[in-house]
Amino acid sequence: MGNHALLKQINKLLILKTILDNKMISRAKISRLVDLNKATVSNLTDELIKEGYIVEKGYGKSKGGRRPVLLQVNKDVGSIIGIDLGVDYIHVILSNFIGEIIFEEYVNIKMKEPKEKLLNLLFDMIEKAIDKAPPTPKGILGIGIGVPGIVEKESGIVLIAPNLEWKNVHLKSIIEQKFNLPVYIDNEANAGALGEKWFGEWGKVSDLIYLSVGIGLGAGIIIDNKLFRGAAGFAGEVGHTTINFQDDVCSCGNIGCLENFASERALLSIIKKLVKEGAEDRYISCENVDEITPSQIIQAAMDGSRICRMAVLEVAEKMAIGIANLVNIFNPEIVIVGNKASFFGDLFLEKLREAVNQKSFIAQFYDLKIEVSKLKDRAVVLGCIAMVISDMLSFPEYA
């Protein structure tokens, strides 16, 4: 695609996103908001209408003269499938064109299942979502997948997903061949950041960091309203930044990686260590420590388990190191802590805020917000919906 065509697609997406954000809006107002002249906005909105993505819907208030026609995104133009391929779960949604969920399925899986087994489960879940799609003019527009690893976006190859023990998996072509639908793939934390930007509470913020906390840890970084990808598209691997020099080998092969201290995996290992050293209470002892899950630890901490509270506070303290580093480097307006950490509770969040403010060199000089994702564990799947919409418009040969 030439520069001119690419610019046109970018502007078209910008207009679509502006209509989505404003629900009902006139062409004149779009032109003001996106800083494009009225003729360009008019041409591009006409194209979007012809393609079925937006519709004219009623009239706005007149400022003298004719009342302006209002535009709205056509939510029923087609359906989209969003998939969060977690380390120990698969989360699938089917949504309409504006991210309203029509069908949702969340399946917990054992860690390190063989790849074939995982793919078969994924196929079944996609199949089910396809079956639930209502009749629409364009049918299913595409499938977006967030993967816990390093992804080569254009080829759709998962170069490495250490916690899944995947290397060089041609995920995009595997799914495309199976379902004959366009497939778009990205790192799951990037997808989460997109989800926050498109559908979250703080979507208007131009500089934000989304931290995806599950078994592992990753960051999606939005700078000046755009996802920061870096030279090869691998930016944001904060979970594999080094915070000490002597601990166990990480799943990535390195030593002292942050995610071993600031994740669900860390919660489990801290609890095990404490119990091994002789700590026990009403909630946790050597009898149940091997079976306990991260969410049970969080619940026990809320119910008053001293040991589980200690583990939650320690994870917050260590995660604050990673966040303070990110804050020092990127100076975000907000850090949104999401995925499983959306359920870690007030004890965790308060400690996290306190420790980040203490550790970050710059946080004391501005109003840094640290919040839990209001999308809870749906930021990634919704981001995958946004990924399909934006990639589809940016690469129209797929549409």
Please give the residue ranges that form the binding site for Zn ion (CB under 5 A). 240, 250, 252, 254, 257
CB environment 233-257: b (16+ within 10 A), e (fewer): bbbbbbbbbebeeeeeebbbeeebb
Between residues 16 and 262, which has the closer beta carbon with respect to Zn ion? Answer: 262
Burial annotation 313-351 (CB, 10 A radius, 16+ → b, else e): bbbbbbbbbbbbbbbeebebebbbbbbbbbbbbebbbeb
**Nearer of residues 160 and 271 to Zn ion, judged by Cβ:** 160
For Zn ion, the closer of residues 149 and 195 by Cβ is 149
| Rounded (10°) angle between helices 294-303 and 306-330 | 110
What values do phi and psi take at 147, rounded to 5? -120, 140
The least distance separating Zn ion from the CB of residue 276, rounded to whole angstroms, comes to: 23
Q: How far is the CB of 97 from Zn ion (least distance, A)?
A: 38
Least CB distance to Zn ion at residue 305 (A): 29
CB of 251 to Zn ion, least distance (A): 6
Alpha carbons 308 and 284: distance in angstroms, whole number: 8
Nearer to Zn ion, 156 or 162 (CB): 162
Contacts 24+ apart (CB under 8 A), 166-171: 166/115, 169/115, 171/145, 171/147
Closest to Zn ion by CB, 230 or 253: 253
Q: What share of the chain is helix, strand, coil (3-state, %, to 5)?
A: 45, 20, 35
User: What gap in Å lies between CA 305 and CA 320, rounded to an integer?
Assistant: 22
Is 139 or 253 the residue whose CB approaches Zn ion more closely?
253
- In whole angstroms, how close is the CB of 348 to Zn ion at the nearest point? 22
Q: In the complex with Zn ion, which residue's Cβ is closer, 194 or 257?
A: 257
Longest dimension (CA), the chain: 80
C-alpha 322/C-alpha 259 separation (Å) is 9
Give the whole-angstrom CA distance, residue 100 versus residue 113: 31
Q: How far apart are CB 90 and Zn ion at their closest, in Å?
A: 23
Torsion of CA 325, 167, 119, 145, to 10 degrees: 40
Asked if residue 78 lies in contact with residue 141, where contact means CB atoms within 8 angstroms, the answer is yes
User: Smallest distance, Å, CB 344 to Zn ion?
Assistant: 21
Nearest-angstrom CA–CA distance, 188 and 166? 15
Smallest separation (angstroms) from Zn ion to the CB of 20:
37
**3-class DSSP state for residue 144?**
strand
Helices 379-394 and 188-199, packing angle to 10 deg? 90
Residue 188 CA: distances (Å) to CA of 82, 88, 151, 194: 11, 14, 10, 10
Residue 100 or 247: the one with the smaller Cβ distance to Zn ion is 247
What 3-state class would DSSP assign to 318? helix
Least distance from C-beta 237 to Zn ion, angstroms? Answer: 8
Judged by beta carbon, residue 258 or residue 355, the one nearer Zn ion is 258
Smallest gap from residue 79 Cβ to Zn ion (A): 37
User: What's the chain's Rg over C-alpha atoms?
Assistant: 22
142 or 162: CB nearest Zn ion: 162
